[in-house]
Amino acid sequence: MTKPFLTTVVGSMPKPAWLMEQLPLNAEGKQVHGKGADWSFSGDMLASAMDDATRVTLHDQVNAGIDIVSDGEQRRSSYLTYITSRLEGFDYETLTKKWTRNKRRLAEVGRCIGPVRRSQPLLAKDLDFLLTETDRPVKITMPGPMTVVDSTADEYYGDEAAMAMEVADALNAEACALDAMGVAVIQFDEPVFSRYPDKVKEWGVEALDRCLKGVENAQTAAHICYSYPMPGVPRPIVDSYPVILEALEGSKIDQLALEFEASKLDPALLGLCPSKTVMFGCIDNGTNEVETPEHVASKLLAAAKHMPAEQIQAAPDCGLVPLPLNVARAKLKAMVLGARLAREQLS
């Protein structure tokens, strides 16, 4: 776990066409913040299909040579609602419209209608299955507090920070339970950090740190990108990393997953978070063009000019769910080969 340029995934992987209907991520009333696409099965058949899809995505990652693997979020119709719909206080039966991501997208979202509480395990079964299927270190992902607040309509708290702190308490209870089970990395996805740098400083880092209390064994991570690319939806890259990385350097989080490929951001920004391990985004999830190993190696070696290579992990910019499955597989293989090439050139 300390060699230069370990390889990992951010979280999501494409789902097989036999498991779920194939919809664009901005499908009205369904994808991203709404209810999610429909499954191809139900009942026991769906449960078995999800198990098999998880085995497939694990095989793909191991076959590519990924060091730290995930379940590819194969059981989730939405990376966010899979968690929030299991917490008390949220209603996904009656959706409402809300501008999200600093007015990037008008989305149909669930509503917060009462106190947010965790009254049941959220990911224990998922993690238990994952641990029985692989001997590699595994990562589990959850949406972070600020992203939950931005991706739902608050009809109860009337105060974003207050809602975020209670969301953080609920996520923290889950994180502690997962930590006790032996997960290697617990990652909180906070794409909205890049959209609201002022809020990150005001209460975002505080809410994130609140998620980590009592986590003693697992590494903790925060994933910060510029959100999934979506057809017909602008994806502005704003100059927010300098602000949020400086703020996160003071956080208790161990790792940061950062986007550097599609954004074309300067790796010199790594100098703002010298104490963190960085999952360095070197694979673009917004294009079907497969990066070459040489390109990946050059990106990683450029990053290593600003941070020790042992603190740099090779990763995609974001989850690979927007891509065709064969493209995602090819990109992971190219990333692993690029990391290996960078390691050789480094030595």
pLDDT at residue 30 tops 80:
no
pLDDT for residue 239: 85
- Res. 73 pLDDT band, cuts 50 70 90: very high
β-strands 6-7, 312-316: how paired?
Answer: parallel
β-strands 88-100, 105-117: how paired?
Answer: antiparallel
- Res. 230 pLDDT band, cuts 50 70 90: low
pLDDT for residue 35: 61
Walk across the sheet containing 105-117 and list its strands: 88-100, 105-117, 152-154
**Cα(178)–Cα(182) distance, rounded to whole angstroms?**
7
> Which residues are within 8 A (CB) of 245 and not within 5 positions of it... i.e. 6 or more apart?
256, 258, 269, 272, 273
pLDDT for residue 75: 97
- Contact (CB, 8 A) for 291 and 331: yes
Over residues 172-188, the mean pLDDT reads 98
pLDDT at residue 32 tops 80:
no
Return the higher-pLDDT residue of 197 and 230: 197
Over residues 105-114, the mean pLDDT reads 91
- Res. 347 pLDDT band, cuts 50 70 90: confident
* Average per-residue pLDDT for the chain: 94
| Nearest one of 94, 92, 95 to 82, comparing CA atoms | 92
CATH 3.20.20.210 for domain 6-346? yes
Over residues 273-291, the mean pLDDT reads 97
- CA torsion sign for 201, 163, 144, 106 is negative
Structure tokens, 293: 């190993």
pLDDT at residue 137 tops 50:
yes
pLDDT for residue 236: 73
pLDDT for residue 241: 94
pTM: 0.95
Over residues 82-101, the mean pLDDT reads 94
* Three-class SS of the chain: CCCCCEEECCCCCCCCCCCECCCCCCCCCCCCCCCCCCECCCHHHHHHHHHHHHHHHHHHHHHHCCCEECCCCCCCCCCCHHHHCCCEEEEEEEEEEEEECCCCEEEEEEEEEEEEECCCCCCHHHHHHHHHHCCCCEEEEEECHHHHHHCEEECCCCCHHHHHHHHHHHHHHHHHHHHHHCCCEEEEECHHHHCCHHHHHHHHHHHHHHCCCCCCCCEEEEEECCCCCECCECCCCCCCHHHHHHHHHCCCCCEEEEECCCCCCCHHHHHHCCCCEEEEEEECCCCCCCCCHHHHHHHHHHHCCCCCHHHEEEEECCCCCCCCHHHHHHHHHHHHHHHHHHHHHHC
Q: Which tens digits make up the pLDDT trace of 2-11?
A: 799 999 999 9
Domain boundaries, the chain: 6-346
Over residues 269-298, the mean pLDDT reads 97
Least confident span in 1-15, 112-126, 234-248, 268-282: 234-248
pLDDT for residue 237: 76
pLDDT for residue 28: 59
pLDDT for residue 31: 46
Phi, psi for residue 31 in degrees, rounded to 5: -75, 160
pLDDT for residue 104: 77
Q: Which tens digits make up the pLDDT trace of 295-305?
A: 999 999 999 99
pLDDT at residue 186 tops 50:
yes
Q: What percent of the chain has pLDDT over 70?
A: 94
Instruction: Specify the amino acid at residue 24.
Output: P
- Contact (CB, 8 A) for 341 and 295: no
| Nearest one of 91, 80, 7, 77 to 49, comparing CA atoms | 77
